[in-house]
Amino acid sequence: MMAARPAVSARRVLALSATGLAAARFRLAVLMAAAACLGALAGADGSAIEAGFWYLSDPRGVLTVILYAASAALGVVSLAEDRARAEWLALPASPAEKFLSTVLCWCLIVPAALFSLQVAGSLLAGEDSLRASLPGAGPDSPILRAVLSASWGIPVAVPICMSGFVFRKNPVPAAVFCLLALPMAGTLICAALAGSPSLRELRLDPSWNPLDWSLLLWMPVLEASARTQGERIAMAFHEWKSLSALVVSWLALPALSLGLGWIGLRRMEADHA
Amino acid sequence: MVVMDGVSVNYGHEPALGGVSASFEPGGIHGILGPNGGGKSTMLKVAAGLVRRASGSVLNFGLDPGLRSAESLADIAFVPDGVPPELGDPEGYARHRAPFRPAWDPVRYRATLDAFGIPAGERVRSRGFLPGGLRVPARGSRSHGGMKKVALAFALACGARILLLDEPDAGLDAASRRTLRSLLSEAAAEGKVVLLATHHLREYDSLLDTVTILDGGRLALRAGTAALSRSVHVERRASGGGSAPLWSRRTAMGHETLVAGPGDSLDLEAVYDAALENPEALAAVLSQNGGHR
């Protein structure tokens, strides 16, 4: 008779995360290198984290969103393959442990690691504004901005990663979801927090028209951003609409995604059992 | 013990298993035989809890694998026909999977790899980036058989009481197949339940304790090999005459026929063909000898 084991074991969750990271190590290495290069590029021209990572006008901001999206998409890719999915499901761990390990690994650890590499790349390239700001971390502080900049990797990564469960056998909608809708949403979240550039202007810009449907989805964020255009992040928190936009984008979207992901995982389990 | 009761599985609208009932005792090697598409792999996946059942129940030592609890999964070692690229690095593969196995035995893992001729520290990277299994071939990459050896070594060392092996000998050379048969005998002697699906019938004549033959997802025959030996044997005749055969095949030397009555050895290939061509007659003979399960 085997000894009873806890329903959720932290050790097994960590082991599952390590297994997932190990399985994607080559793809992860490519992403890590891309993150470091992006940071170095931003640091080399002096803009670094202070500007380059979150302005929509800067292609590096968009690249960063894509980078975070790609990191979460690794989890999706690994589940899209029948053999890999079956092997993952067959690992002796409970569904809750598998879900937690996925969230930990692809929604938290990997985006955080990518951001760290971006910062490191920027510092290595000679940007010293980050170090200069260390004594005080007010709203103007690059540190605060950097942390906020990193945090939107999570609202981008969580829904994409969870889409692997939701669209588990339909790679086409999952790919559309991952590659278009959510990076765009993440970019808008970023822009909303930064208060710049003007999303009102963005909406009028014909070059963004193909993505209007995505903008509509994020209307509360757009409105909040328009009201706070030019203001600093700290001031944005005092605006009720900005706060609601923050809640929607930072909490509701990941929470909704996590809920849908859990349902998707259980359905995936049911498909196989 | 693995007990299946009235298990049916559908892939879409296509039935893959139809009401199969069978039980597999610990300490035995149980062969799952059948033509391609007969339902062998599906049956193993059902036992592993990897396929949704349309009906019926499965209990592995009293636990339903379909619920996929950590406890029930830890008692199952499933080696599928396909092999994952991670098997190119035996140490890494074990390092990431052993934490889920409470009874993991690293010494046995190393010994089994040695028995298969895989030296310590040998590591073949499988480089790949493209999704969907497309991979850039690596120089010196491990063959399918080599990967299979690593998967088998892990299954034998992970402490699971149920070994589900789908084509375990596919891609293995003759010496490795002999090694595998020896290792499977040891596992059965330790009280494990070994279920293996194979097409290499002659190699398992003397190894299997029971045979389960599936045809089109239906159970064509289920019997113990000892009972089969007591009940039927192959005769080689110059002409096709003589007592009514259960199965007959023309050869260069005349005819080979499977007839009722005890024989010196079991010809599993003849039994297999008879089970597919004339299952009722074979079942009737076995019932007379108490061998039909």
Tens of pLDDT along A229-248? 444 444 444 444 445 555 55
* ipTM of this complex prediction, to 2 decimal places: 0.73
Residue B52 to residue A273, Cβ atoms within 8 A: yes
Query: What's the mean pLDDT when you consider all of chain B?
Result: 85
Residue A11 to residue B69, Cβ atoms within 8 A: no
Residue of A122, A32, A123 lying closest to A71 (CA atoms): A32
Considering only CB atoms, A94 lies closest to which of B69, B97, B101, namely: B69
pLDDT band at B152 (very low <50, low <70, confident <90, very high): very high
pLDDT band at A22 (very low <50, low <70, confident <90, very high): confident
Residue A273 to residue B129, Cβ atoms within 8 A: no
H or E stretch at A96: helix A95-102
Query: Which segment of A116-130, A212-226, B70-84, B276-290 scores lowest on mean pLDDT?
Result: A212-226
Q: What angle do CA B108, B103, A92 make, to 5 degrees?
A: 115
- From chain A, pick out residues whose CB is under 8 angstroms from the CB of B49: 90, 272-273
Q: Give the distance from residue B1's alpha carbon to the nearest chain A alpha carbon, in angstroms.
A: 13
The pLDDT score that the predictor gives to residue A209 is 34
The topology (CATH level 3) of B2-216 is Rossmann fold (3.40.50)
Radius of gyration in angstroms for the set of CA atoms belonging to chain A, rounded to a whole number: 19
* Domain layout of chain B by residue ranges: 2-216, 223-293
Query: Which segment of A53-57, A133-137, A248-252, B152-156 scores lowest on mean pLDDT?
Result: A133-137
Dig out the tokens for B74 from the structure: 């830890």
The pLDDT score that the predictor gives to residue A2 is 46
In the predicted model, is pLDDT for residue A203 greater than 60? Answer: no
The pLDDT score that the predictor gives to residue B81 is 84
B94 vs A115: which has the higher pLDDT: B94
Backbone angles phi, psi at B60, to 5 degrees: -105, 105
The pLDDT score that the predictor gives to residue A178 is 59
In the predicted model, is pLDDT for residue B177 greater than 80? Answer: yes
Average pLDDT over every residue of B145-149: 87
In the stretch 76-105 of chain A, residues with CB closer than 8 A to chain B read: 77, 80-81, 83-84, 86-87, 89-95, 97
Query: Which segment of A32-41, A160-169, B217-226 scores lowest on mean pLDDT?
Result: A160-169
pTM of the model: 0.75
Tell me how many residue pairs between chain A and chain B have CB atoms under 8 A apart.
Answer: 88
A75: nearest CA partner in chain B:
B131
In whole angstroms, what is the distance from residue B184 CA to residue B269 CA? 21
A18 vs A189: which has the higher pLDDT: A18
pLDDT band at A206 (very low <50, low <70, confident <90, very high): very low
The pLDDT score that the predictor gives to residue A169 is 60
A82 vs A11: which has the higher pLDDT: A11
Query: Which segment of A116-125, B124-133, B167-176, B227-236 scores lowest on mean pLDDT?
Result: B124-133
Q: For an interface test with B, which of A14, A74, A94 has the most B Cβ atoms less than 10 Å from its Cβ?
A: A94
In the sheet where B254-260 sits, what is the strand order?
A: B232-237, B254-260, B247-251
